[in-house]
Amino acid sequence: MLINDDINSFDHVIKSLVEVCGHDNIQAEQCAVLTHIKGGCVIKIADHATLEKMSAELRELSLDTVLI
C-alpha cells in the first residue's frame, strides 16, 4: 500500500510506480490520485517476497509504503 506524503510530486510517484511496479501511466496516475485523496492506495497484489522487494525499492525512492 502506498501512503500519501507532502514531499513527493505526482510526477515522481507516477514514474516510480511505472518503474518499480510495472504500472502503465494511467494506472500509476490513478494510484497517485487515490493515494492523495484517500491517504493510501493498494498498488500491487502479489506474493509476500515480491511485495517486500517492491516496497524496499519504493522506499529507496522516498515513497512511504506499508505491507498489508
Q: What are the pLDDT digits (tens) for 23-65?
A: 999 999 999 999 999 999 999 999 999 999 999 999 999 999 9
Write down the pLDDT at residue 7: 95
Q: How many CB atoms within 10 Å of residue 63? A: 21
Domain range summary for the chain, segments of one domain joined by +:
2-65
Amino acid at 2: L
Q: Which fold has domain 2-65?
A: Ribosomal Protein L30; Chain: A, (3.30.1390)
Q: Is the torsion defined by CA of 49, 53, 56, 62 positive or negative? A: negative
